[in-house]
Each structure stands twice: as C-alpha cells, then as structure tokens.
Amino acid sequence: MSVYVLNAHFQIPEEEGCEKYDFKVIHQIIRELTIGIYILNQVPSISLEANFDCSTSVQLPPAYIDTKVKKLNNLTCLQ
C-alpha cells in the first residue's frame, strides 16, 4: 500500500492474514512520525545490533517505543 502526503511517500508492508489498513491507522502513523521527527527531533531509523548468541536485535529511537511505527518495523499486524 502506498500513501502520498504532500511531498512524502510512505510504503507500508502488507501481510497475508492481516486486514487492509484503515485511514485512521494511516493518520495515526503519520501523526507519530510528525511528532517524532519535528517535535522530538528523532528520525525513525533501524539499528541492528549483534548479540552474543549470534542473533540480532532491532533498536529504535525512544520516541517510537510504544507506537504503530514500531509495529510496522516489527512487521506485525497493526490491529
């Protein structure tokens, strides 16, 4: 799914078994990104860190900890 907002282009992954995203969810994601970038000055970047057991963990900036943006990065259903 692609959403165009002014000069920005957001690509949101779709998974089998998950419902299509409602515009309320899209609006919430754009709101969280706007607050994180312009108010809290934190860009939503993904950092992979190696663990001792040869696995990796994903690190996000603190502004996106309990948000739908994090759920998008974890590729889970947003519902």
pLDDT in tens, 12-64: 667 777 777 778 888 888 888 888 888 888 887 777 788 888 887 777 888 88
Predicted structure pTM score: 0.62
For the residues 58-78, what does the mean pLDDT come to?
Answer: 73
* Cα–Cα distance measured from residue 58 to residue 53, given in angstroms and rounded to the nearest whole number: 15
pLDDT at 4: 53
For the residues 66-71, what does the mean pLDDT come to?
Answer: 79
| Measured CA angle at 45 (ends 52, 34), to 5 deg | 145
